[in-house]
Structure 1
Amino acid sequence: MKIFIYLSLILCWIIFPVYPFGHSLLPLFSLDPSYININHGSYGSAPKYVHEKLQEYQLQAERNPDRWFRLDVQVAMEKLREKLSKYVNCNPDDLVILDNASSGINSILKSLKLKSNETILYYNVAYGMVKLTLEYVSTEFFTQEQIIQIELDHQTIQNTNLLLKKTQDTINKIKHVKLIVFDHISSTPAILFDIETMIKYFRNQGILTLIDGAHAVGAIELNLSKLDPDFYLSNTHKWLYNHRSACLLYVKKDLQNLIHPIITSFGYLQSFQNEFFWLGTKDYSSYLTISDALDFRQTIANETDIYNYNHQLAKQAGDLIAQMWNSSTLTTNDQFISTMNNIELPSFIDTLDKMNILYQKLINQYNTFLPMFQFDNKFYCRISAQIYMELSDYQTVGKIVLDTISNMIFFPILKQTKDHFHSV
């Protein structure tokens, strides 16, 4: 099997040296042939090659656990940080690897101290986990008055000047802002923000920035030295192709002494890297496959080609589905579209109950899935583009949605239990 995977990679490179994208790449992944994965963004998908490497690391650990945990894995993780730091252009000493974005957000928000007159700002489009963590710290560490949400609508979300003006209005009213939390690429709706401009704007006012870049690394070019955030995190398993789960956490050097992992273990009071590295006995294999995922990407194509294919496919697929549904995409401006797009659902889906029934039917009856959400009084779905997808996949799912809605019209709509645990 391993030889077959390697030969497949080499064959792809020989036959398709520039744009080997689309269904020809599906054999390199382990996806069910009957499953149309237009929701790659939620959980990602690792190539077979990466999964083979995962098993090699696990076997190495089993052969000699003492050597693995006391020596080998530490060396391997240091090499990984060096390699990943070059990919995102930062100092490896400012980078640590965690399980997921939830671990990073919790570590930062539960480490920071606020004076009684200081506040934290965030936007209504923040990911649900971020909102809940902010709610938790507002009751356990701070006060509810110290955590303030700023409402964005379909205009402010795709106009950086309007967004900053609205944020500044809030800052002027409350004064002492310690930290602002915002997305690089938000989840629902999926919008690519101009965080370089935003970071500079807030830094000029002495406000720390925490960037939730869960959907960024592997989806767009990421240059942390250029962006210069105070805190930045990104799930690597979503778009970079490593085995789930893993997340990079960047903390500016002069702030590292303030930040601690949510688990206290033997690295406590040592270096920033050591404190986050040793959090008890665990399987580091998923982390280590980040290196193999980077190798896989180089075998397939250059980074710019991967970014461009997924971006263009997301845009074209959004336009296609919107036309099929007689609706529209949330934005038509390329500047705010990454590898995901948002399409307004057909007009029949006008309640949360109907939306919930639709997405339950998609996953239970049609073996596909669309994240759906309400934003600014409209109902949308989010699609993800990926190198193994083609425009025909989105046409198929678009028709499935229309057929499902047609059946829903002729049958009573029964209220169903909301799924509280879907990741987007």
Structure 2
Amino acid sequence: MSSSDKTSSSAVNGNESSVKRDTASPLFGQRILQHFEFDPGHRNLNHGSFGASPRAIRKKLREYQDLAEAKPDQFIRYDTPDILNECREATAKLLNVPTETVVFVVNATTGVNTILRNIAWNDDCKDEIIYFKTIYGACGKTVDYIVDSGLGRVSARAIQIDYPQEDEEIVTTLKNTIEDCVKDGKRARICIFDIVSSLPAVRFPFEEVTKLCKEKGVLSLIDGAQGIGMIDLDLRALDPDFFVSNFHKWFYVPRSCALLYVPVRNQALIRSTIPTSHGYISNSGERFNPLPKKNESPFVNNFQFVGSTDSAAYLCVKDAIEWREQVLGGEARILEYIHALAKDGGKKAAQVLGTEVLDNKSGTMSRCATTNVALPLEVEEASQASDWMMETMMSEYGTFIPLFIHNGRPWARISAQVYLDIDDFEWAGRTLLELCTRVKRGEYKEA
């Protein structure tokens, strides 16, 4: 039996060495697993992809679904709007913004699509979408679609990032790119950037970039898919033009639920949901809306009902906020733990592998709950073997860790969460080292 086969007992039963912040705080680490529904043979080291929801919140999800089944018209037409308003109010308080600026969509990609597909591109064909090459793949393809279908009215300009880079280098590069747009007779219309990028999973200088966009008259679209629940956010102070973030990743709301923030000044730009539904108001006049409960805000009303979808996850937002406060001690305690675990755990995994963590000299890239650890493999063999490695993780080791190539080097991305501790990162390092040894023996070629 490999060392990696010892997954279930320590992961489920916990151990007494789990981190305790102080006598008044909850006990984080493996004991928190009792609140989740992971398979006993699975160690969840990839929270950043699909998230996970505690049993108590999933129970609330089923209660809302049962209410919709018991009295469909009563619950969907009359009760759901009120619960949605409670969840929007709780979200607005969490992010320090007015309630009328917050609505829900199924995921961050839908939010990005909603924004880009609503913008009216100028007929002078000078508009450009600025983005960074670390953009999430689906959002990058959305940019491609907007350009491809825009009949030449909009183009896109990508900014290369080769981490590790200092924040000021990224901001300077964006400033130069906006100036290059002007020199080329173009107009930087909107800039898309992350809070924490996907691959590599590092904190982006979103505060400084938002400020620069405002100074240059460029709309800022923040893809905070990995944002709420992982980073301390004050949207009133940040003041972006558009912001999306998944509740179902780091905030423990069941899939699929994301917030879309649009300040009042920009709400007239977002005329339709995706798909267009009953809240849309045409230039030619408003059609009949069969839903009785309408919000005073046309923007909020637009997103209140988008077809007959299961919106039960949206209704769990207030429950997740309450659970994180009552069970885990609140946002500050959660962020303190997962940030420290990502930093210390990354170092531990890198020590086992004999490599290093991806970070810049100032340490700003690692100020989040994910870490990127270099693999002791050549780029060519890592490229050829990565699919085999990830499939083997699932079939033989009971885990999944995303692998990728960045700046000419192979990396592994590991997520820190309240139900993990330093032992999990050491185990991850041993598992990755064992897989790398098997790659060097050529096992992937035999698969």
TM-score (norm 2): 0.86
Task: Tell me: CA distance 1:53–1:62, structure 2 relative to 1, closer, same or farther (3 Å).
Answer: same
Task: Tell me: CA distance 1:127–1:38, structure 2 relative to 1, closer, same or farther (3 Å).
Answer: same
Q: Which residue of 2 aligns with 1:296?
A: 323
Judge conservation of contact 2:375–2:436 (CA < 8 Å) in 1. no
Q: Work out which of the residue numbers 128, 150, 156 in structure 1 matches 2:137.
A: 128
Q: Which residue of 2 aligns with 1:321?
A: 349
Judge conservation of contact 1:20–1:301 (CA < 8 Å) in 2. no
**C-alpha displacement at 1:102, in angstroms?**
1.3
Question: Is 2:245 the counterpart of 1:234?
Answer: yes
Judge conservation of contact 1:81–1:95 (CA < 8 Å) in 2. yes
Q: Which residue of 2 aligns with 1:400?
A: 431
Q: Which residue of 1 aligns with 2:100?
A: 93
Q: Which residue of 1 aligns with 2:229?
A: 218
Task: Tell me: CA distance 1:250–1:348, structure 2 relative to 1, closer, same or farther (3 Å).
Answer: same
Q: In structure 2, what is the Cα distance between the partners aligned to 1:292 and 1:39?
A: 24
Task: Tell me: CA distance 1:400–1:174, structure 2 relative to 1, closer, same or farther (3 Å).
Answer: same
Task: Tell me: CA distance 1:45–1:120, structure 2 relative to 1, closer, same or farther (3 Å).
Answer: same
**C-alpha displacement at 1:128, in angstroms?**
0.3
Q: In structure 2, what is the Cα distance between the partners aligned to 1:322 and 1:401?
A: 10
Q: Work out which of the residue numbers 194, 202, 207 in structure 2 matches 1:191.
A: 202
Q: Work out which of the residue numbers 375, 378, 386 in structure 2 matches 1:355.
A: 386
Secondary structure class of the residue paired with 1:336:
coil
Q: Which residue of 1 aligns with 2:9?
A: none
Give the residue type in structure 1 aligned to 2:376: P
**C-alpha displacement at 1:16, in angstroms?**
6.5
Q: In structure 2, what is the Cα distance between the partners aligned to 1:71 and 1:194?
A: 42
Q: Work out which of the residue numbers 13, 26, 31 in structure 2 matches 1:24.
A: 31
Q: Work out which of the residue numbers 49, 54, 59 in structure 2 matches 1:52.
A: 59
* Residues 310-358 of structure 1: per-residue CA shift (max 9 Å, x gap): 0000001110111111111110644222000111112256441122221
**C-alpha displacement at 1:293, in angstroms?**
0.8
Secondary structure class of the residue paired with 2:201:
coil
Q: In structure 1, what is the Cα distance between the partners aligned to 2:440 and 2:254?
A: 41
Deviant stretches of 4+, over 4 Å: none
Q: In structure 1, what is the Cα distance between the partners aligned to 2:280 and 2:154?
A: 32
**C-alpha displacement at 1:279, in angstroms?**
1.0
Secondary structure class of the residue paired with 2:200:
coil
CA-based RMSD: 1.8
Q: Which residue of 1 aligns with 2:307?
A: 280
Unmatched 5+ residue regions in structure 2? 1-19, 282-296
Secondary structure class of the residue paired with 1:383:
strand
Give the residue type in structure 2 aligned to 1:167: L
Secondary structure class of the residue paired with 1:301:
coil
Q: In structure 1, what is the Cα distance between the partners aligned to 2:152 and 2:350?
A: 43
Q: Which residue of 1 aligns with 2:414?
A: 383
* Residues 78-126 of structure 1: per-residue CA shift (max 9 Å, x gap): 1110111101111110111000011101111111122211111000001
Q: Which residue of 2 aligns with 1:42?
A: 49
* Residues 371-396 of structure 1: per-residue CA shift (max 9 Å, x gap): 11111111111110000101111111
Q: Which residue of 2 aligns with 1:83?
A: 90
Once the two structures are aligned, what percentage of the paired residues are identical? 32
**C-alpha displacement at 1:262, in angstroms?**
1.8
Give the residue type in structure 2 aligned to 1:344: A
5 Å matches for 1:155-170?
155-156=164-165, 159-170=166-177
Secondary structure class of the residue paired with 2:316:
helix
Unmatched 5+ residue regions in structure 1? 1-12, 417-424
For this pair of structures, how many residues does the alignment match? 401
Q: In structure 2, what is the Cα distance between the partners aligned to 1:198 and 1:400?
A: 38
5 Å matches for 1:331-370?
331=359, 333-337=362-366, 338-348=368-378, 350=380, 351-370=382-401
* Residues 245-277 of structure 1: per-residue CA shift (max 9 Å, x gap): 100000121211111212111111271111112
Question: Is 2:261 the counterpart of 1:250?
Answer: yes
Q: In structure 2, what is the Cα distance between the partners aligned to 1:415 and 1:344?
A: 25
Task: Tell me: CA distance 1:187–1:73, structure 2 relative to 1, closer, same or farther (3 Å).
Answer: same
Q: In structure 2, what is the Cα distance between the partners aligned to 1:360 and 1:143?
A: 42
TM-score (norm 1): 0.91
**C-alpha displacement at 1:163, in angstroms?**
0.9
Q: In structure 2, what is the Cα distance between the partners aligned to 1:238 and 1:413?
A: 31
**C-alpha displacement at 1:144, in angstroms?**
9.2
